[in-house]
Structure 1
Amino acid sequence: MTDGTSATQRSPEPVGFDDPLAPAPADGEGFETNWTVRTGDVDPNNRLRFDGMARYLQDIGSDNLDATSLGVTDPFWIVRRTVIDVHTPVEFPDRVHMRRWCSSMSTRWSNMRVNITTDKGASIETEGFWINISASTGMPTRISDEALALLARTTDEHRLRWKAWLTEPVPSPAHTDVQFPLRATDIDPFNHVNNAAYWHAVEELLVDHADLLHAPHRAVIEYLSPILAGDHVTIRHRFEGGALTVWFVVDDAVRSVAKVAPRA
Protein backbone atom coordinates (compact mmCIF):
# COMPACT_ATOMS: atom_id res chain seq x y z
CA MET A 1 0.00 0.00 0.00
CA THR A 2 3.09 2.18 -0.17
CA ASP A 3 6.04 2.25 -2.49
CA GLY A 4 9.44 3.93 -2.51
CA THR A 5 12.73 3.18 -0.81
CA SER A 6 12.78 1.78 2.70
CA ALA A 7 12.72 4.33 5.53
CA THR A 8 11.15 3.81 8.95
CA GLN A 9 10.38 6.36 11.64
CA ARG A 10 8.92 6.48 15.12
CA SER A 11 5.38 7.82 14.65
CA PRO A 12 3.62 9.22 17.73
CA GLU A 13 0.16 7.81 17.09
CA PRO A 14 -2.93 9.79 18.11
CA VAL A 15 -4.97 8.06 20.81
CA GLY A 16 -7.85 10.53 21.15
CA PHE A 17 -9.87 13.18 19.37
CA ASP A 18 -7.59 16.09 20.31
CA ASP A 19 -4.25 14.47 19.43
CA PRO A 20 -2.24 15.56 16.37
CA LEU A 21 -1.77 13.12 13.52
CA ALA A 22 1.52 11.35 12.92
CA PRO A 23 4.06 13.27 10.78
CA ALA A 24 4.89 12.52 7.17
CA PRO A 25 7.77 10.17 6.30
CA ALA A 26 10.86 11.12 4.33
CA ASP A 27 10.42 12.64 0.88
CA GLY A 28 9.93 9.97 -1.77
CA GLU A 29 8.06 7.62 0.53
CA GLY A 30 4.41 6.73 0.04
CA PHE A 31 2.04 6.77 -2.92
CA GLU A 32 1.26 10.05 -4.69
CA THR A 33 -1.35 11.12 -7.22
CA ASN A 34 -3.20 14.20 -8.48
CA TRP A 35 -6.61 15.00 -9.89
CA THR A 36 -8.96 17.85 -10.66
CA VAL A 37 -11.67 18.93 -8.20
CA ARG A 38 -15.10 18.39 -9.80
CA THR A 39 -18.30 20.33 -9.21
CA GLY A 40 -20.14 17.23 -7.95
CA ASP A 41 -17.95 17.22 -4.83
CA VAL A 42 -18.33 20.87 -3.73
CA ASP A 43 -20.98 22.88 -1.88
CA PRO A 44 -22.65 26.12 -3.05
CA ASN A 45 -19.61 28.05 -1.77
CA ASN A 46 -17.27 25.83 -3.83
CA ARG A 47 -15.84 24.13 -0.69
CA LEU A 48 -14.85 20.49 -1.12
CA ARG A 49 -17.44 18.64 1.01
CA PHE A 50 -16.65 15.86 3.48
CA ASP A 51 -18.34 13.23 1.31
CA GLY A 52 -16.12 14.38 -1.57
CA MET A 53 -13.04 14.02 0.63
CA ALA A 54 -14.19 10.53 1.67
CA ARG A 55 -14.45 9.51 -1.99
CA TYR A 56 -10.97 10.90 -2.61
CA LEU A 57 -9.64 8.75 0.25
CA GLN A 58 -11.36 5.65 -1.15
CA ASP A 59 -10.08 6.33 -4.64
CA ILE A 60 -6.45 6.94 -3.70
CA GLY A 61 -6.62 3.74 -1.62
CA SER A 62 -7.80 1.79 -4.67
CA ASP A 63 -5.17 3.40 -6.88
CA ASN A 64 -2.51 2.63 -4.27
CA LEU A 65 -3.51 -1.06 -4.27
CA ASP A 66 -3.51 -1.18 -8.06
CA ALA A 67 0.00 0.29 -8.16
CA THR A 68 1.35 -2.72 -6.22
CA SER A 69 0.75 -6.46 -6.06
CA LEU A 70 -1.58 -5.86 -3.09
CA GLY A 71 -4.44 -5.49 -5.53
CA VAL A 72 -4.12 -9.28 -5.86
CA THR A 73 -2.84 -10.36 -2.43
CA ASP A 74 -4.84 -7.97 -0.20
CA PRO A 75 -7.61 -6.45 -2.33
CA PHE A 76 -10.40 -5.87 0.25
CA TRP A 77 -10.26 -3.29 3.04
CA ILE A 78 -12.93 -1.52 5.10
CA VAL A 79 -12.46 1.66 7.09
CA ARG A 80 -13.26 1.75 10.82
CA ARG A 81 -12.41 5.41 11.48
CA THR A 82 -11.66 8.45 9.33
CA VAL A 83 -10.02 11.60 10.68
CA ILE A 84 -10.04 14.78 8.57
CA ASP A 85 -8.14 17.89 9.67
CA VAL A 86 -9.04 20.85 7.47
CA HIS A 87 -6.39 23.54 7.90
CA THR A 88 -7.26 25.43 4.71
CA PRO A 89 -10.16 24.05 2.64
CA VAL A 90 -9.95 22.93 -0.96
CA GLU A 91 -12.13 25.12 -3.18
CA PHE A 92 -13.28 24.69 -6.77
CA PRO A 93 -11.68 25.25 -9.23
CA ASP A 94 -8.44 23.60 -8.18
CA ARG A 95 -6.34 20.48 -8.57
CA VAL A 96 -5.38 18.38 -5.55
CA HIS A 97 -2.12 16.59 -4.84
CA MET A 98 -2.43 13.60 -2.52
CA ARG A 99 0.22 11.60 -0.70
CA ARG A 100 -0.65 8.34 1.12
CA TRP A 101 1.43 6.28 3.54
CA CYS A 102 1.17 3.95 6.54
CA SER A 103 1.72 5.59 9.94
CA SER A 104 1.16 2.49 12.11
CA MET A 105 0.15 -1.12 11.65
CA SER A 106 -0.63 -4.51 13.09
CA THR A 107 -1.12 -7.86 11.39
CA ARG A 108 -4.78 -7.22 10.41
CA TRP A 109 -5.14 -3.43 10.12
CA SER A 110 -3.23 -0.23 9.55
CA ASN A 111 -3.52 3.52 9.94
CA MET A 112 -3.17 5.11 6.52
CA ARG A 113 -2.39 8.82 6.36
CA VAL A 114 -3.31 10.96 3.34
CA ASN A 115 -2.29 14.58 2.96
CA ILE A 116 -4.24 16.70 0.45
CA THR A 117 -2.68 19.94 -0.80
CA THR A 118 -3.06 22.30 -3.75
CA ASP A 119 -0.94 24.98 -5.42
CA LYS A 120 -3.50 27.52 -4.22
CA GLY A 121 -2.64 26.81 -0.58
CA ALA A 122 -5.26 24.27 0.51
CA SER A 123 -4.11 21.89 3.23
CA ILE A 124 -6.00 18.87 4.62
CA GLU A 125 -4.52 16.03 6.68
CA THR A 126 -6.35 12.73 7.09
CA GLU A 127 -5.96 9.34 8.71
CA GLY A 128 -7.96 6.16 8.16
CA PHE A 129 -8.01 3.01 10.32
CA TRP A 130 -8.27 0.34 7.61
CA ILE A 131 -9.00 -3.36 8.24
CA ASN A 132 -7.93 -6.11 5.84
CA ILE A 133 -10.95 -8.28 4.95
CA SER A 134 -11.07 -11.89 3.75
CA ALA A 135 -12.81 -12.28 0.39
CA SER A 136 -14.20 -15.67 1.46
CA THR A 137 -15.45 -14.89 5.00
CA GLY A 138 -15.96 -11.12 4.97
CA MET A 139 -14.11 -11.00 8.30
CA PRO A 140 -10.80 -9.37 9.29
CA THR A 141 -7.86 -11.44 8.15
CA ARG A 142 -4.07 -11.38 8.39
CA ILE A 143 -2.30 -9.02 6.03
CA SER A 144 0.00 -10.83 3.62
CA ASP A 145 3.73 -10.89 4.33
CA GLU A 146 4.35 -8.85 1.18
CA ALA A 147 1.88 -6.17 2.29
CA LEU A 148 3.31 -6.06 5.80
CA ALA A 149 6.75 -5.44 4.35
CA LEU A 150 5.43 -2.58 2.21
CA LEU A 151 3.52 -1.00 5.09
CA ALA A 152 6.58 -1.18 7.35
CA ARG A 153 8.60 1.05 5.03
CA THR A 154 7.07 4.18 6.56
CA THR A 155 6.57 3.18 10.19
CA ASP A 156 8.15 1.17 12.97
CA GLU A 157 4.92 1.16 15.00
CA HIS A 158 3.77 -2.45 14.53
CA ARG A 159 1.40 -2.87 17.50
CA LEU A 160 -1.55 -0.74 16.43
CA ARG A 161 -4.68 -1.36 18.50
CA TRP A 162 -8.21 -0.13 18.06
CA LYS A 163 -9.48 2.41 20.58
CA ALA A 164 -12.71 4.34 20.04
CA TRP A 165 -12.44 8.12 20.25
CA LEU A 166 -16.14 9.02 20.14
CA THR A 167 -17.64 7.48 23.27
CA GLU A 168 -20.21 10.08 24.33
CA PRO A 169 -23.56 8.32 25.01
CA VAL A 170 -26.26 8.77 22.41
CA PRO A 171 -28.96 11.28 23.45
CA SER A 172 -32.53 10.21 24.12
CA PRO A 173 -35.04 10.49 21.27
CA ALA A 174 -36.02 14.10 20.61
CA HIS A 175 -38.00 16.23 18.20
CA THR A 176 -34.72 17.08 16.46
CA ASP A 177 -34.30 13.44 15.33
CA VAL A 178 -34.44 13.07 11.55
CA GLN A 179 -34.83 10.04 9.32
CA PHE A 180 -32.02 9.21 6.91
CA PRO A 181 -33.61 7.26 4.03
CA LEU A 182 -31.14 5.02 2.22
CA ARG A 183 -30.84 5.04 -1.55
CA ALA A 184 -29.70 2.22 -3.79
CA THR A 185 -26.68 4.34 -4.72
CA ASP A 186 -25.58 4.45 -1.04
CA ILE A 187 -24.86 0.70 -0.95
CA ASP A 188 -21.41 -0.76 -1.64
CA PRO A 189 -20.32 -4.26 -2.80
CA PHE A 190 -20.42 -5.53 0.82
CA ASN A 191 -24.14 -4.54 1.03
CA HIS A 192 -23.09 -1.81 3.50
CA VAL A 193 -23.79 1.90 3.27
CA ASN A 194 -20.68 3.30 1.60
CA ASN A 195 -18.57 5.28 4.06
CA ALA A 196 -18.82 8.47 1.97
CA ALA A 197 -22.64 8.41 2.19
CA TYR A 198 -22.59 8.91 5.98
CA TRP A 199 -21.06 12.33 5.42
CA HIS A 200 -24.23 13.42 3.57
CA ALA A 201 -26.01 13.55 6.94
CA VAL A 202 -23.13 15.47 8.54
CA GLU A 203 -23.13 18.00 5.71
CA GLU A 204 -26.90 18.45 6.07
CA LEU A 205 -26.52 19.34 9.74
CA LEU A 206 -23.55 21.61 9.10
CA VAL A 207 -25.81 23.91 7.10
CA ASP A 208 -27.04 25.26 10.47
CA HIS A 209 -23.51 25.38 11.93
CA ALA A 210 -21.54 26.81 9.02
CA ASP A 211 -19.27 28.81 11.34
CA LEU A 212 -17.48 25.53 12.11
CA LEU A 213 -16.26 25.47 8.51
CA HIS A 214 -14.86 29.01 8.51
CA ALA A 215 -11.82 28.15 10.65
CA PRO A 216 -9.54 25.11 10.97
CA HIS A 217 -11.56 22.10 12.12
CA ARG A 218 -11.36 18.34 12.69
CA ALA A 219 -14.00 15.87 11.57
CA VAL A 220 -13.98 12.27 12.77
CA ILE A 221 -16.34 9.42 11.97
CA GLU A 222 -16.24 5.95 13.54
CA TYR A 223 -18.09 3.05 11.95
CA LEU A 224 -19.10 0.78 14.84
CA SER A 225 -21.18 -1.74 12.89
CA PRO A 226 -22.44 -1.69 9.31
CA ILE A 227 -25.64 -0.06 8.19
CA LEU A 228 -27.15 -2.41 5.62
CA ALA A 229 -29.46 -1.94 2.68
CA GLY A 230 -33.03 -1.83 4.00
CA ASP A 231 -32.13 -0.51 7.46
CA HIS A 232 -34.18 2.38 8.83
CA VAL A 233 -31.72 5.00 10.04
CA THR A 234 -32.41 7.80 12.52
CA ILE A 235 -30.00 10.71 12.91
CA ARG A 236 -29.59 12.25 16.36
CA HIS A 237 -27.30 15.15 16.98
CA ARG A 238 -26.07 17.59 19.59
CA PHE A 239 -24.30 20.93 19.19
CA GLU A 240 -22.43 21.69 22.39
CA GLY A 241 -19.24 23.53 23.23
CA GLY A 242 -18.86 24.61 19.62
CA ALA A 243 -18.80 20.99 18.39
CA LEU A 244 -21.36 19.02 16.38
CA THR A 245 -21.79 15.32 17.24
CA VAL A 246 -23.95 13.03 15.11
CA TRP A 247 -25.22 9.53 15.93
CA PHE A 248 -26.54 7.09 13.30
CA VAL A 249 -29.12 4.89 15.04
CA VAL A 250 -30.80 1.69 13.77
CA ASP A 251 -33.28 -0.16 16.02
CA ASP A 252 -32.09 1.84 19.05
CA ALA A 253 -28.48 0.78 18.45
CA VAL A 254 -25.72 3.22 17.45
CA ARG A 255 -24.10 2.10 14.21
CA SER A 256 -21.82 5.10 13.67
CA VAL A 257 -20.77 8.36 15.35
CA ALA A 258 -19.33 11.52 13.80
CA LYS A 259 -17.99 14.74 15.33
CA VAL A 260 -16.88 18.06 13.87
CA ALA A 261 -15.06 20.51 16.15
CA PRO A 262 -12.77 23.55 15.87
CA ARG A 263 -8.99 23.10 15.85
CA ALA A 264 -6.57 25.52 17.44
Structure 2
Amino acid sequence: MDFIPEPQQGRVFVNEHCNLLSDCDPTGRLRLDGIARILHDVATLDNEGSPVPDKGLWILRNLSVELRVWPGYLDSIVSRTWCSGIGRAWAERRTDLYRHDQLVAQAKALWVNVAPDTGFPRSLPEGFLSVFGPSAMGRTIKPRFMLSLPEDEPASTGSIPLRYSDLDIVGHVNNAVHLALAEELLAPSQRGADSQLNQYHSFTIEFHHGLELPEPANWSLWTSGGSMTLRLAQSEGVASVVELQREEASITEQRIGS
Protein backbone atom coordinates (compact mmCIF):
# COMPACT_ATOMS: atom_id res chain seq x y z
CA MET A 1 0.00 0.00 0.00
CA ASP A 2 1.16 3.50 -0.86
CA PHE A 3 0.63 6.01 1.95
CA ILE A 4 1.36 9.66 1.21
CA PRO A 5 3.24 11.25 4.17
CA GLU A 6 1.78 14.11 6.16
CA PRO A 7 2.24 17.34 4.19
CA GLN A 8 4.11 20.40 5.32
CA GLN A 9 1.36 22.64 3.97
CA GLY A 10 -2.42 22.77 4.07
CA ARG A 11 -5.01 21.66 6.61
CA VAL A 12 -4.18 18.81 9.03
CA PHE A 13 -6.93 18.03 11.53
CA VAL A 14 -6.14 16.40 14.89
CA ASN A 15 -8.52 14.53 17.20
CA GLU A 16 -8.15 12.27 20.25
CA HIS A 17 -10.17 9.14 20.98
CA CYS A 18 -10.13 6.67 23.88
CA ASN A 19 -10.85 3.00 23.09
CA LEU A 20 -13.67 1.95 25.39
CA LEU A 21 -15.81 -1.15 25.88
CA SER A 22 -17.89 -0.76 22.72
CA ASP A 23 -14.73 -0.62 20.55
CA CYS A 24 -12.91 -3.71 21.83
CA ASP A 25 -13.26 -7.51 21.79
CA PRO A 26 -13.18 -9.69 24.97
CA THR A 27 -9.35 -9.80 24.88
CA GLY A 28 -9.13 -5.99 24.77
CA ARG A 29 -8.13 -5.76 21.08
CA LEU A 30 -9.57 -2.81 19.18
CA ARG A 31 -11.95 -4.36 16.65
CA LEU A 32 -11.99 -3.66 12.91
CA ASP A 33 -15.25 -1.76 13.22
CA GLY A 34 -13.74 0.24 16.09
CA ILE A 35 -10.90 1.32 13.79
CA ALA A 36 -13.44 2.25 11.11
CA ARG A 37 -15.44 4.36 13.57
CA ILE A 38 -12.33 6.28 14.65
CA LEU A 39 -11.55 7.03 11.00
CA HIS A 40 -15.16 7.96 10.19
CA ASP A 41 -15.41 10.23 13.22
CA VAL A 42 -12.24 12.19 12.55
CA ALA A 43 -13.25 12.62 8.88
CA THR A 44 -16.69 13.91 9.92
CA LEU A 45 -15.29 16.26 12.57
CA ASP A 46 -12.75 17.66 10.11
CA ASN A 47 -15.38 18.26 7.45
CA GLU A 48 -18.00 19.69 9.81
CA GLY A 49 -15.47 21.95 11.52
CA SER A 50 -14.08 23.33 8.28
CA PRO A 51 -15.05 26.74 6.84
CA VAL A 52 -16.42 25.10 3.65
CA PRO A 53 -20.06 26.31 3.49
CA ASP A 54 -21.40 23.24 1.64
CA LYS A 55 -20.39 20.21 3.71
CA GLY A 56 -21.53 17.80 0.99
CA LEU A 57 -22.81 14.25 1.42
CA TRP A 58 -19.83 11.89 1.39
CA ILE A 59 -20.03 8.14 0.73
CA LEU A 60 -17.06 5.88 1.48
CA ARG A 61 -15.87 3.96 -1.59
CA ASN A 62 -12.84 2.16 -0.14
CA LEU A 63 -10.61 2.07 2.92
CA SER A 64 -7.13 0.61 3.44
CA VAL A 65 -5.40 0.28 6.81
CA GLU A 66 -1.95 -0.95 7.82
CA LEU A 67 -1.27 -1.70 11.48
CA ARG A 68 2.05 -1.77 13.29
CA VAL A 69 0.30 -3.09 16.41
CA TRP A 70 -3.32 -3.64 17.37
CA PRO A 71 -4.42 -0.88 19.78
CA GLY A 72 -6.28 -2.01 22.89
CA TYR A 73 -8.74 -1.11 25.60
CA LEU A 74 -8.26 2.35 27.19
CA ASP A 75 -5.55 3.27 24.69
CA SER A 76 -5.70 6.94 23.81
CA ILE A 77 -5.51 7.30 20.04
CA VAL A 78 -4.53 10.59 18.40
CA SER A 79 -5.68 10.88 14.79
CA ARG A 80 -4.00 13.20 12.31
CA THR A 81 -5.90 13.50 9.04
CA TRP A 82 -5.71 15.48 5.81
CA CYS A 83 -6.83 15.48 2.18
CA SER A 84 -4.19 13.64 0.14
CA GLY A 85 -5.74 13.63 -3.34
CA ILE A 86 -8.64 15.05 -5.31
CA GLY A 87 -10.79 14.20 -8.32
CA ARG A 88 -13.90 15.49 -10.06
CA ALA A 89 -16.37 14.36 -7.38
CA TRP A 90 -14.20 12.57 -4.86
CA ALA A 91 -11.24 13.02 -2.54
CA GLU A 92 -8.73 10.80 -0.79
CA ARG A 93 -8.23 11.19 2.94
CA ARG A 94 -5.07 10.05 4.75
CA THR A 95 -5.09 9.43 8.48
CA ASP A 96 -2.28 8.44 10.84
CA LEU A 97 -3.15 6.96 14.25
CA TYR A 98 -0.78 7.43 17.18
CA ARG A 99 -0.65 5.91 20.67
CA HIS A 100 1.62 7.68 23.17
CA ASP A 101 3.03 9.70 20.24
CA GLN A 102 4.03 6.47 18.43
CA LEU A 103 2.58 5.66 15.00
CA VAL A 104 0.44 2.51 15.25
CA ALA A 105 -1.56 2.62 12.01
CA GLN A 106 -1.86 4.35 8.66
CA ALA A 107 -5.06 4.61 6.66
CA LYS A 108 -6.30 6.01 3.39
CA ALA A 109 -9.90 6.30 2.27
CA LEU A 110 -11.67 7.40 -0.90
CA TRP A 111 -14.81 9.42 -0.27
CA VAL A 112 -17.27 10.33 -3.06
CA ASN A 113 -19.45 13.44 -2.85
CA VAL A 114 -23.00 12.52 -3.90
CA ALA A 115 -26.25 14.39 -4.48
CA PRO A 116 -28.67 13.75 -1.57
CA ASP A 117 -31.70 13.33 -3.86
CA THR A 118 -30.16 10.88 -6.37
CA GLY A 119 -27.11 9.35 -4.69
CA PHE A 120 -25.09 10.00 -7.85
CA PRO A 121 -21.63 11.64 -7.70
CA ARG A 122 -21.59 15.41 -7.95
CA SER A 123 -18.77 17.93 -8.22
CA LEU A 124 -16.77 18.79 -5.12
CA PRO A 125 -18.57 21.32 -2.88
CA GLU A 126 -17.94 25.01 -3.41
CA GLY A 127 -14.95 26.11 -1.38
CA PHE A 128 -13.64 22.54 -0.89
CA LEU A 129 -10.50 23.01 -2.97
CA SER A 130 -9.45 26.23 -1.26
CA VAL A 131 -9.69 24.61 2.21
CA PHE A 132 -8.68 20.97 1.60
CA GLY A 133 -6.84 21.21 -1.71
CA PRO A 134 -3.45 22.61 -0.55
CA SER A 135 -2.57 19.48 1.47
CA ALA A 136 -3.13 17.32 -1.65
CA MET A 137 -0.36 19.30 -3.39
CA GLY A 138 -1.84 18.78 -6.84
CA ARG A 139 -2.21 14.98 -6.54
CA THR A 140 -5.18 13.63 -8.52
CA ILE A 141 -6.83 10.25 -8.03
CA LYS A 142 -9.42 8.01 -9.72
CA PRO A 143 -12.18 6.04 -7.96
CA ARG A 144 -11.19 2.55 -9.08
CA PHE A 145 -11.99 -0.80 -7.52
CA MET A 146 -8.74 -2.72 -6.97
CA LEU A 147 -9.76 -5.95 -5.21
CA SER A 148 -10.67 -9.09 -7.14
CA LEU A 149 -12.34 -12.23 -5.83
CA PRO A 150 -10.47 -15.56 -5.98
CA GLU A 151 -11.44 -17.78 -8.91
CA ASP A 152 -11.83 -20.93 -6.81
CA GLU A 153 -14.83 -21.86 -4.70
CA PRO A 154 -15.02 -20.19 -1.27
CA ALA A 155 -13.94 -22.17 1.78
CA SER A 156 -17.23 -21.40 3.51
CA THR A 157 -20.49 -19.52 2.88
CA GLY A 158 -23.57 -18.54 4.83
CA SER A 159 -25.89 -15.68 5.73
CA ILE A 160 -26.13 -13.38 8.71
CA PRO A 161 -29.09 -11.22 9.78
CA LEU A 162 -28.98 -7.44 9.85
CA ARG A 163 -30.50 -5.18 12.51
CA TYR A 164 -32.23 -1.83 12.55
CA SER A 165 -29.42 -0.57 14.79
CA ASP A 166 -26.96 -1.29 11.94
CA LEU A 167 -28.47 1.56 9.88
CA ASP A 168 -27.03 5.08 9.73
CA ILE A 169 -28.54 8.41 8.71
CA VAL A 170 -28.23 7.54 5.00
CA GLY A 171 -30.55 4.57 5.63
CA HIS A 172 -27.93 1.95 4.69
CA VAL A 173 -26.07 -0.47 6.91
CA ASN A 174 -23.15 1.60 8.19
CA ASN A 175 -19.70 0.96 6.71
CA ALA A 176 -18.29 -0.02 10.10
CA VAL A 177 -20.92 -2.76 10.37
CA HIS A 178 -19.46 -4.49 7.30
CA LEU A 179 -16.25 -4.88 9.32
CA ALA A 180 -18.21 -5.88 12.43
CA LEU A 181 -19.62 -8.75 10.36
CA ALA A 182 -16.04 -9.74 9.46
CA GLU A 183 -15.25 -9.80 13.18
CA GLU A 184 -18.31 -11.97 13.78
CA LEU A 185 -17.44 -14.49 11.08
CA LEU A 186 -13.83 -14.83 12.27
CA ALA A 187 -14.62 -14.85 15.99
CA PRO A 188 -13.03 -17.58 18.17
CA SER A 189 -15.16 -20.55 19.18
CA GLN A 190 -14.19 -20.12 22.85
CA ARG A 191 -14.83 -16.95 24.83
CA GLY A 192 -11.62 -15.12 25.71
CA ALA A 193 -9.54 -16.82 23.01
CA ASP A 194 -7.72 -14.76 20.41
CA SER A 195 -9.57 -14.00 17.18
CA GLN A 196 -8.10 -15.14 13.85
CA LEU A 197 -7.89 -11.44 13.06
CA ASN A 198 -5.03 -10.95 15.53
CA GLN A 199 -2.60 -12.41 13.00
CA TYR A 200 -3.55 -9.96 10.26
CA HIS A 201 -1.86 -6.58 9.99
CA SER A 202 -3.52 -4.89 7.04
CA PHE A 203 -6.93 -4.79 5.44
CA THR A 204 -8.73 -3.17 2.54
CA ILE A 205 -12.49 -2.90 2.14
CA GLU A 206 -14.30 -1.78 -1.01
CA PHE A 207 -17.98 -0.86 -1.06
CA HIS A 208 -20.15 -1.60 -4.09
CA HIS A 209 -23.82 -1.59 -3.01
CA GLY A 210 -25.38 -0.72 0.31
CA LEU A 211 -26.75 -3.50 2.51
CA GLU A 212 -30.50 -3.08 3.03
CA LEU A 213 -32.92 -4.41 5.63
CA PRO A 214 -34.72 -6.76 6.07
CA GLU A 215 -32.74 -9.06 3.73
CA PRO A 216 -29.83 -10.87 5.45
CA ALA A 217 -26.26 -10.47 4.21
CA ASN A 218 -24.89 -13.46 2.33
CA TRP A 219 -21.20 -14.05 2.93
CA SER A 220 -18.44 -16.02 1.22
CA LEU A 221 -14.97 -16.54 2.69
CA TRP A 222 -11.73 -17.47 0.94
CA THR A 223 -8.38 -18.21 2.60
CA SER A 224 -5.08 -18.48 0.74
CA GLY A 225 -1.60 -18.37 2.25
CA GLY A 226 -1.24 -15.11 4.10
CA SER A 227 -4.50 -13.55 2.97
CA MET A 228 -8.22 -13.86 3.55
CA THR A 229 -11.05 -12.47 1.41
CA LEU A 230 -14.63 -11.91 2.57
CA ARG A 231 -17.52 -10.97 0.29
CA LEU A 232 -20.86 -9.65 1.53
CA ALA A 233 -23.76 -9.66 -0.92
CA GLN A 234 -27.53 -9.39 -1.28
CA SER A 235 -29.92 -9.82 -4.19
CA GLU A 236 -28.75 -6.48 -5.64
CA GLY A 237 -25.24 -7.89 -5.97
CA VAL A 238 -21.93 -7.56 -4.15
CA ALA A 239 -22.15 -5.14 -1.23
CA SER A 240 -18.51 -5.16 -0.09
CA VAL A 241 -15.24 -7.05 -0.40
CA VAL A 242 -12.70 -7.21 2.45
CA GLU A 243 -9.14 -8.43 1.95
CA LEU A 244 -6.91 -9.09 4.98
CA GLN A 245 -3.15 -9.65 4.81
CA ARG A 246 -0.94 -11.32 7.42
CA GLU A 247 2.31 -9.57 6.53
CA GLU A 248 3.26 -6.95 9.09
CA ALA A 249 3.01 -3.43 7.78
CA SER A 250 6.35 -1.87 6.90
CA ILE A 251 5.59 1.44 8.62
CA THR A 252 8.60 3.65 9.08
CA GLU A 253 9.32 4.47 12.74
CA GLN A 254 7.60 7.78 13.28
CA ARG A 255 6.48 10.02 16.09
CA ILE A 256 4.11 12.97 16.15
CA GLY A 257 5.91 16.00 14.86
CA SER A 258 8.71 14.05 13.14
Fold shared by both chains (TM-score > 0.5) = yes
Structure 2 residue aligned with 1:20: 2
* CA distance in structure 1 between the aligned counterparts of 2:197 and 2:169, rounded to whole angstroms: 33
Q: Aligned residue pairs: how many?
A: 243
Q: 1:169/1:107 Cα in 2 relative to 1: closer, same or farther (>3 Å)? A: same
Distance 1:113 1:44 in 2: 29
**Offset, 1:120:** 7.3
Q: Does structure 1 retain, via aligned residues, the 8 Å contact 2:63–2:107?
A: yes
Whether the aligned pair in 1 keeps the contact of 2:232 and 2:238 (CA below 8 Å) is yes
> Given the superposition, is the C-alpha separation of residues 147 and 199 from structure 1 closer, same or farther in structure 2, using an over 3 Å criterion?
same
Answer yes or no: is the 8 Å Cα contact 1:52–1:196 preserved in 2.
yes
- Contact kept, 8 Å, 2:199 with 2:246, in 1: the verdict is no
Structure 2 counterparts to residues 195-206 of structure 1, below 5 A: 195-206=175-186
Query: Unaligned stretches of 5+ in structure 2?
Result: 189-193, 249-258
Q: What pairs up with 1:43-54 in 2 under 5 angstroms?
A: 43-54=25-36
2: CA distance between counterparts of 1:257 and 1:199? 10
Q: Secondary structure at the match of 1:51?
A: helix
Residue 159 of structure 1: how far off its partner (Å):
2.9
Match of 1:69 in 2: 51
Q: Find the counterpart in structure 2 of residue 231 from structure 1.
A: 215
Q: 1:129 aligns with which of 103, 110, 118?
A: 110
Corresponding residue SS for 2:186:
helix
Which amino acid in 1 is paired with 2:198? L
Kindly state the Cα deviation for residue 168 of structure 1 after the two structures are TM-superposed.
2.0
**Structure 2 length as normaliser, TM-score?**
0.86
CA offsets, 1:86-114, max 9 Å, x none?
Answer: 11121112211001101111121011011
- Note if contact 2:226-2:247 (Cα within 8 Å) is conserved in structure 1: no
CA distance in 1, matches of 2:86, 2:164: 34
| Identity fraction in percent | 25
Structure 1 length-normalised TM: 0.84
* 1:241 aligned partner: 225
Pick from 207, 217, 220 the counterpart of residue 187 of structure 2. 207
Q: Which residue of 2 aligns with 1:12?
A: none
Q: CA RMSD in A?
A: 2.3
| Correspondent of 1:258 among 242, 249, 253 | 242
Compute the displacement of 1:66 (Å): 2.0
Q: CA, structure 1 residues 93+43, in 2 after alignment: closer, same or farther (shift >3 Å)? A: same
- Which SS does the other structure have where 1:73 is aligned? coil
Q: Secondary structure at the match of 2:41?
A: helix
